Structure 1
Amino acid sequence: MLTHRSRTLAIAGTISGCGLLFAACTTDGSGDANNSDPTAAVVATTTQVGSIAEQITQCAGGETQILMSAGDDPHQFEASSAQIADMVTADLVLINGLGLEASMQRSIENAESDGAEVFEVAPQLDPLPLGDDHDHEHDHGESEESHDHAGHEHDHGEDEESHEHGSYDSHVWLDVARMADGAELVGERIAETSGDDTYVSCGADVAESLRETDAEIEDILGEMDSPRLVTDHAAYGYFADRYGIEISGVVIPGGSTDGEPSSQDLASLTSLLDDEGADALVTSKANTNRMISALAQETEQDIPVVELYESAIGEPGSDAETYQDAMLYNANALAEAVN
Structure 2
Amino acid sequence: MHGSAPRPQTLRLSAATLALAALVPLAACAGADDEPSIVVTTNILGDVVENLVGDDAEVTVLMKPNADPHSFGISAKEAGAMESADLIIGNGLGLEEGLSTNLDNARSEGVPVLAVGEHIDAIDYATGGSAGTPDPHFWTDPARMVDAVDTITSALGEEVGADLAEAIEPSADSYRDRLIALDSEIEAIAEGIPAGDRKLVTNHHVFGYFAERFDFEVIGAVLPSGTTLASPSAADLEQLARTVEEAGVATIFADSSQPQRLAQALSDEVDLDVDVTPLFSESLTEAEGEAGTYIDMQTANAARIAEGLAPNTITETGKREQ
Q: 2:110 and 2:84 mapped to 1: Cα distance?
A: 8
Matched, 1:286 2:257: yes
Tell me if the contact between 1:191 and 1:199 (Cα under 8 Å) persists in the aligned partners: no
RMSD: 2.0
- Alignment partner of 1:297 out of 268, 285, 290: 268
Q: 2:111 and 2:81 mapped to 1: Cα distance?
A: 9
Contiguous gaps of at least 5 residues in structure 2? 1-31, 312-322
- Structure 1 counterpart of 2:53: 57
- Name the SS for the 1:255 alignment partner: coil
Identity fraction in percent: 31
Instruction: Flag the 1:55–1:251 CA change in 2: closer, same or farther, 3 A.
Output: same
TM-score, normalisation: structure 1: 0.76
- Structure 1 counterpart of 2:193: 224
In the TM superposition, residue 167 of structure 1 has moved relative to its aligned partner by: 2.1
- Name the SS for the 1:305 alignment partner: strand
Contiguous gaps of at least 5 residues in structure 1? 1-35, 134-165
Matched, 1:169 2:108: no
- Structure 2 counterpart of 1:85: 80
Matched, 1:180 2:146: yes
- Name the SS for the 1:43 alignment partner: strand
Instruction: Flag the 1:276–1:236 CA change in 2: closer, same or farther, 3 A.
Output: same
Q: 2:139 and 2:115 mapped to 1: Cα distance?
A: 13
Q: 2:38 and 2:108 mapped to 1: Cα distance?
A: 18
Structure that is richer in helix per residue: 2
- Structure 2 counterpart of 1:206: 175
In the TM superposition, residue 41 of structure 1 has moved relative to its aligned partner by: 2.1
Q: Per chain length, whose mean CA-contact separation is higher, i.e. which structure has more relative contact order (CA < 8 Å, sep 6+)? A: 1
Aligned residues: 272
Tell me if the contact between 2:224 and 2:236 (Cα under 8 Å) persists in the aligned partners: no
| 1:90 partner letter | A
Matched, 1:118 2:118: no
> Which one is further off, 252-261 or 184-193?
184-193
Q: 1:275 and 1:243 mapped to 2: Cα distance?
A: 23
After the TM superposition, which segments of 4 or more aligned residues of structure 1 sit over 3 Å from their partners? 36-39
Instruction: Flag the 1:334–1:40 CA change in 2: closer, same or farther, 3 A.
Output: same
Tell me if the contact between 1:232 and 1:292 (Cα under 8 Å) persists in the aligned partners: yes
Q: 1:222 and 1:40 mapped to 2: Cα distance?
A: 43
Q: 1:325 and 1:71 mapped to 2: Cα distance?
A: 14
> Which one is further off, 313-322 or 45-54?
313-322
Q: 1:246 and 1:280 mapped to 2: Cα distance?
A: 14
Q: 1:180 and 1:279 mapped to 2: Cα distance?
A: 32
Q: 1:202 and 1:119 mapped to 2: Cα distance?
A: 20
In the TM superposition, residue 288 of structure 1 has moved relative to its aligned partner by: 3.1
- Name the SS for the 1:248 alignment partner: strand
- Structure 1 counterpart of 2:41: 45
| 2:41 partner letter | T
Q: 1:91 and 1:78 mapped to 2: Cα distance?
A: 21
Q: Give deviations 1:303-336, integer Å, cap 9, x for gaps.
A: 2212111110121112321100110110011112
Matched, 1:328 2:299: yes
- Name the SS for the 1:183 alignment partner: helix
Q: Give deviations 1:221-261, integer Å, cap 9, x for gaps.
A: 11112311111111111110111111111121231111111
Instruction: Flag the 1:132–1:263 CA change in 2: closer, same or farther, 3 A.
Output: closer
- Structure 1 counterpart of 2:92: 97
Tell me if the contact between 1:188 and 1:200 (Cα under 8 Å) persists in the aligned partners: no
In the TM superposition, residue 84 of structure 1 has moved relative to its aligned partner by: 1.3
TM-score, normalisation: structure 2: 0.80
In the TM superposition, residue 206 of structure 1 has moved relative to its aligned partner by: 1.4
| 1:236 partner letter | F
The structure whose Rg is larger is 2
Q: 1:63 and 1:252 mapped to 2: Cα distance?
A: 37
- Structure 2 counterpart of 1:31: none
Matched, 1:194 2:189: no
Q: 1:325 and 1:37 mapped to 2: Cα distance?
A: 33
Q: 2:299 and 2:116 mapped to 1: Cα distance?
A: 22
- Structure 2 counterpart of 1:22: none
